[in-house]
Structure 1
């Protein structure tokens, strides 16, 4: 009897062991192989002949137990015809969303090739699109790594991990900070000057990554961050009940948009856009902000003065302003400004115009600035993959993922967007205090109704930011100011000066 029991126990343990091994084997099979395409190229950038290598593929990151947790697709550009490569600046570049791949700044600003769009905000239409060499790329002075966060591009969770493990302000910053650590280790770049470059929500990500990289022992100290169309304090941009700040911070962009579309009543009285916007800023911070703060305590005369000036700066009808209680949020503005013409203005770039089937609604069908350029960038990156850098994959390259955005965790410690507002400005300020070489570059589009420039100015003027180490630049374009050729050239020159002062 005891012998039979022993046999049963041994047999059971053996079966369990076999099952466990088989399960481990199956899990191992479920982990896709990391693929990497390596190609050699030559180009002429800023008048310099540059030989460079492109590594386009996956980096598998593991958890504390050594189990694969995330595959990060990235495209790294490294100059090869230089003597001291380790001292070259290294830029980690990502876009926003959250849920966006890095295609926009890759194919529009920094990459060796870019898709060329009309500078005058004209609709682009269908293929073929104009993809050409980009002599403005920074490859002569810096190496570039374009990163697609988990759930975007070809990046994905691995093994037992799900996307939600990485879809959040803190979670996202942690995994991308880990990618930076692994990359500089594998490529011997610990002693290189390092910068984070983010656009839109990517600027929020950059601020959160400053905390993850620089705080605590074993830190990775940065030389700076570049914030393209930034949103680092969401109180400045979220139109929620009881939050009057965005009505103030959006006003100068409303004014710029009205100026562009010739809706400013007395436009001839102003010397130029700069003078006009300075007056708008002054009004927004003083008379307008005061009346909003006073609420029911504001006198009829104060209210009438604000209504008159809001009309003068935005071109909106006085009756509309009064009926809106002097509080016009972004989407109603986009519909109202040119309603009499049956047009709507774009959100990402208010120079763009669209037409809706229903003119009387208070929100557009879709952003004219988005559908004007999306197809061109999507086709450009796919064409570039197949024809230039030997990346041939049949799975979809996720340009902008609604799944990621819809499942985003806005909690960061005790701070929640639903209970307050995400604000990474204090992380940037602390980073500056703890690192004397840490600098900030900010690029603002006058016609950006997604991340307005006056909101960024507000953020930079609070939370102890050292303004002596902040470079603020402005361009007469929108969120992706690089679609506008004059702005692209000015932006690249400004970034060059910032990196190599």
Structure 2
């Protein structure tokens, strides 16, 4: 799972929600691209990963996209090398490859898929949306229940592309090799280098160097996807991805908060208001009977960019009467009392804990539709992630036993043992290295055929839709090569049938090279997850 646990709606910077014309507009004030794109702090990859000793395969059949086909499932160990070229860690790849005429293989796309963290395996995307099998349900309860059934995933895109899931070093069955430093790949660039080695090995061994390559990364994995595009472009042999699919993107994230006290940023407050309105609509804090979700978001957006922005920029120079009027309007738009807005200088300091405080509830860590008791709430950094992912871990174990009949592997890690401690040891980009969003701009310019697909759940409380819209407005990704889509979900935007099917339909269109039609703004039923009515706590 994505362990960007410290991120809350407070660090989301926006909501130019569902306005592609604004999101994709060119920003004349953006800094000019460097003549030569930036490079990794690690040496360029010149050799693929080594083959590991453990390799398992099986042949199965299924129906995908309405087509019946046979496919080969392969679990392979690979050994990735450190800066000096010495094998330092094992990691495992699970591939699903359709049984087609090998003469056609070079024309068939390959999607390399992974989740984030850092410190997460790839089984969230595998059993949530992309694999040939999935968990029957995918809400918080189902993910954490080892008895959640696994069912066929007929919406998977295996009929048009082969699927390769990569577990990051120290996750899945992968472990550091004896004598190596366990922290070798705990950095943005080291992690990307390891994945690039694996991708080159898989393409080489399977005779697929000519295949269209797509890279799908979720949450922190979106950062990895961008860095992989950079590193594969200068690797030997060279690979230029046909496209990147960024799921619940987190390009702006660059490590845990420093703890420094700084002045409040009006832009953050202004641009997060439509996100708050969306959550308020879902939970019935505002009218969700005669007003649609989109109408609630639009109303908040209009107010945010006008009166709200003006008063926040004025700060303590704004007349009290105007501040009171703005607080009343904020209460109407969000259902949060005007007194709460006034007490916080017209901001919410902890949205997840403040929005439903009147019901003694807090919003979920990854999906704002999920709720938990406010009293005694566990800090995100102290959550039991192993228990939270018990259902996913059990499903992966079932795959190992029933499909691959693999014995002697270590316990599967859906995440590293202690995600908070792991992230503290991670090296994020540091100056003068550019941020990931700048690297994306560079690579889009350096590879004029590479396309971009950005997907977002409208109730995401970890990497919010507002942040996505704002960031891509600043990146100014080429409009003719970039598509955006929003779904009625949270951080795992495919967590229920409607969102999963819409997401996979859009992935299918994107991989097929077709123009992705503009998806209407989501229109979910309020107060429900997966068609089930939520308890309100009132």
Q: CA deviation at 1:394?
A: 5.0
How many residues get paired? 457
Which moves more between the two structures, 198-207 or 282-291?
A: 282-291
Q: CA deviation at 1:302?
A: 4.5
Residue 92 of structure 1: aligned partner: 112
TM-score for the superposition, normalised by structure 1: 0.83
Q: CA deviation at 1:112?
A: 0.7
Residue 384 of structure 1: aligned partner: 399
User: Which residues in structure 2 correspond to 1:85-234 (within 5 Å)?
Assistant: 85-117=105-137, 126-215=145-234, 219-234=238-253
Which moves more between the two structures, 491-500 or 281-290?
A: 281-290
Q: CA deviation at 1:130?
A: 1.6
Structure 1's unaligned 5+ residue stretches are: 1-30, 416-421
Q: Is the 8 A contact 1:101 1:400 kept in 2?
A: yes
Query: Which residue, 407, 419, 425 being the options, matches 2:437?
Result: 425
Residue 98 of structure 2: aligned partner: 79
Q: Is the 8 A contact 1:79 1:140 kept in 2?
A: yes
Residue 479 of structure 2: aligned partner: 467
- Which structure shows the higher helix fraction? 1
Q: 1:366 to 1:286 in 2, by over 3 A?
A: farther
Q: 1:328 to 1:183 in 2, by over 3 A?
A: same
**Cα distance per residue 1:204-263 (max 9 Å; x no partner):** 111222222225886421111101111111389979734624434433222111111100
Query: Which residue, 260, 279, 282 being the options, matches 1:257?
Result: 279
Q: CA deviation at 1:177?
A: 1.7
Q: 1:302 to 1:366 in 2, by over 3 A?
A: farther
Which moves more between the two structures, 107-116 or 73-82?
A: 73-82
Q: 1:299 to 1:176 in 2, by over 3 A?
A: farther
Q: 1:283 to 1:163 in 2, by over 3 A?
A: farther
Distance 2:72 2:510 in 1: 25
Residue 309 of structure 1: aligned partner: 329
Q: Is the 8 A contact 1:89 1:141 kept in 2?
A: yes
Distance 1:169 1:243 in 2: 29
Structure 2's unaligned 5+ residue stretches are: 1-49, 515-538
Residue 59 of structure 1: aligned partner: 78
SS of 1:222's partner is: coil
**Cα distance per residue 1:256-315 (max 9 Å; x no partner):** 111111001x44563x11122123233334433443344334443553343233222221
Q: CA deviation at 1:168?
A: 1.1
TM-score for the superposition, normalised by structure 2: 0.78
Which moves more between the two structures, 303-312 or 338-347?
A: 303-312
Distance 2:305 2:176 in 1: 46
Q: CA deviation at 1:373?
A: 5.9
Residue 422 of structure 2: aligned partner: 404
Q: 1:249 to 1:133 in 2, by over 3 A?
A: same
Residue 507 of structure 2: aligned partner: 495
Residue 365 of structure 2: aligned partner: 347
Q: Is the 8 A contact 2:173 2:409 kept in 1?
A: no
Distance 1:308 1:393 in 2: 63
Q: 1:355 to 1:204 in 2, by over 3 A?
A: same
Distance 1:371 1:339 in 2: 28
Residue 320 of structure 1: aligned partner: 340
Distance 1:382 1:458 in 2: 40
Residue 467 of structure 2: aligned partner: 455
Distance 2:156 2:496 in 1: 16
Distance 1:356 1:91 in 2: 41
Q: Which has the higher contact order (CA 8 A, sep 6+)?
A: 2
Residue 525 of structure 2: aligned partner: none
Q: 1:344 to 1:68 in 2, by over 3 A?
A: same
Bigger CA radius of gyration: 1
